[in-house]
Amino acid sequence: MENQRPSWTSRGAFVLAAIGSAVGLGNIWRFPYIMGQNGGAAFLVVYLLLILTICFIPLVAELVMGKITKKECIGAFESVNPKLKPIGALNPLTGILIMSFYFVVGGWILNYICLGFSNSEITDFSEYFSIFVQNSYSNCIFTLLFLFVCVFLTARGVKKGIEFANNILMPMFAIILLFLIFSALQLPNAHLGLEYMFKPDFSKINPHTFLTALGQALFTLSIGMGAMLTYGSYIKDDKAITKSAYTIIFSDTLFALMAGVMIFPTIFSFGLQPDSGAGLVFVTLPYIFAQIPHGNIVSIAFFVLLFAAAITSGISMLEVAVAALTERMKFSRIKACITAFCLIAVIAIPATLSFGLLSDFKIFDKTVFDFLDYITSNCLMPLNAFFICIITGWVMGVKGEMFTQNRLLAGLFDIGLRFAVPAILLGLVYIGLK
Ligand code: PHE
């Protein structure tokens, strides 16, 4: 049974797949808009602090739990103690909620690929976007199309597709980002954007900044919904988990920073609002595309590559639910994928409609889309990460000395895993629920 599980061909393949999972819409779409809503540079400082130190621990814990148990998410918790099964089940559940709004944004990207912006008569892209998201029918179709592509690739057991996307498309994505950064920095008043991003005003920091920064850090690293645990369970004999974890964190952070340096100078150059919310990237980028030669081709290329980055993340989310259904319920891969498709579609459609037909329907004062985004990043992912730390640290007895000979670092890891990080995570879940 154990031998039938898939496994990575090499450490490189694993690290690339994990980076593929981490780098996605979280970096390019979510990071700039969350930063824009939470005080710019001050948020960045808190975010970097959290992602470079605290998030390292739940990331390693998830990978190790997968690697030791060699099970899909629910089975991994169950094998530690059968009573922990419901906690394990919270992971694919969180994943389904995340996918339900993530795939809406994936649908917007598909739609933008079809649009191509330069030479169009549009001059006000903010207004354009606000009308665009209200178009319920086309957005529903594109959301379902995006979901279908992810499900299709996952059903085919995609290894080749994912590796292609990671090896070829991601470097291309980095190159096009660099090109757009270069173009953005040439714009008038670009320096104001850089100041906004790098000159912190610490008076803007409050407990919510920490909560939001942590939610973003967990989201972007794919921690707290079983994706890294599942990918970790396909690791054969990797001793360098901590090294892999830092490679994942650094690559992911680099992509987020690049997205910021591309977006904020453009915002300030065109007099847009950094805190305008979820449409930020979709409103800002067309202004650059409209400025540069062959902007429509660059626009299509950019959104195709962003689509590829979103797909590699989407697949890693789906894999959690699909692995649970195939390994636990003995579903065939196809049946598991169809089941996941239906479950996600049922929630993703109202999320898509929350910008149009359902814009007045609120849950705790938030639209369906905003509610799903908030509850997953700020409550469920930190909660799942908390359980992972507690279970690996206290029940499974994972210790820092397993990863390093340096006693100081090992000791710090132990304190972090058993006390400090779970306490911080729980504190933030509490703030999130208040
Ligand atoms: N990390 C992905 C991104 O930044 C999103 C994601 C979240 C993927 C959770 C898997 C699990 O886009």
- What is the spatial distance between Cα 408 and Cα 261, in angstroms, rounded to a whole number? 36
* Residue 105 Cα to ligand 1 middle (Å): 13
Where b means 16+ CB within 10 Å and e means fewer, 376-404 reads bbbbbbbbbbbbbbbbbbeebebebeebe
- What is the spatial distance between Cα 198 and Cα 354, in angstroms, rounded to a whole number? 34
pLDDT in tens, 195-237: 999 999 999 999 889 989 999 999 999 999 999 999 899 888 7
- What is the spatial distance between Cα 398 and Cα 390, in angstroms, rounded to a whole number? 10
Nearest to 25 by CA among 105, 110, 84: 105
In 3-state terms the chain splits into helix, strand, coil percentages (rounded to 5) of 80, 0, 20
What phi, psi does 366 have (nearest 5°)? -125, 150
Q: Label residue 339 exposed, middle or buried (CB < 10 Å: 0-12, 13-18, 19+).
A: middle
Q: Which atom of ligand 1 is nearest to the CA of 310?
A: 12
23-44 average pLDDT score: 95
According to the model, what pLDDT value does residue 1 have? 41
The per-residue DSSP string of 115-177 comes to H--TT-S---HHHHHHHHTT-HHHHHHHHHHHHHHHHHHHHTT-HHHHHHIIIIIHHHHHHHH
pLDDT over 80 at 171, yes or no: yes
The residues lining ligand 1, judged by C-beta closer than 6 Å to any ligand atom, are 21-22, 24-27, 98, 219-220, 222, 225, 227, 313, 316-317
pLDDT over 90 at 354, yes or no: yes
pLDDT in tens, 300-329: 888 998 998 899 899 889 989 998 999 888
The CA R_g of the chain, rounded to the nearest whole Å, is 21
Which residues, including other chains, have CB under 8 Å from residue 130's CB and lie 6 or more apart? 279
According to the model, what pLDDT value does residue 156 have? 81
According to the model, what pLDDT value does residue 117 have? 56
Q: Which atom of ligand 1 is nearest to the CA of 25?
A: 12
Q: Which atom of ligand 1 is nearest to the CA of 24?
A: 12
* Residue 228 Cα to ligand 1 middle (Å): 10
* Residue 269 Cα to ligand 1 middle (Å): 30
* Residue 219 Cα to ligand 1 middle (Å): 5
CB 59 within 8 A of CB 245: yes
Residue nearest atom 11 in ligand 1 by C-alpha distance: 222
Mutate to test the pocket of ligand 1, among 102, 221, 228, 318 (most ligand atoms within 8 A of CB): 102
* Residue 21 Cα to ligand 1 middle (Å): 6
pLDDT in tens, 241-277: 999 999 999 999 999 999 999 999 999 998 888 998 8
According to the model, what pLDDT value does residue 2 have? 42
- What is the spatial distance between Cα 383 and Cα 215, in angstroms, rounded to a whole number? 11
The per-residue DSSP string of 229-297 comes to HHHHHT--S-S-HHHHHHHHHHHHHHHHHHHHHHHHHHHHHTT--TT--TTHHHHHHHHHHHHSTTHHH
Residue nearest atom 9 in ligand 1 by C-alpha distance: 222
* Residue 362 Cα to ligand 1 middle (Å): 25
pLDDT over 70 at 160, yes or no: no
Which residues, including other chains, have CB under 8 Å from residue 214's CB and lie 6 or more apart? 50, 54, 55, 382, 424, 425, 428
Mutate to test the pocket of ligand 1, among 219, 221, 249, 378 (most ligand atoms within 8 A of CB): 219
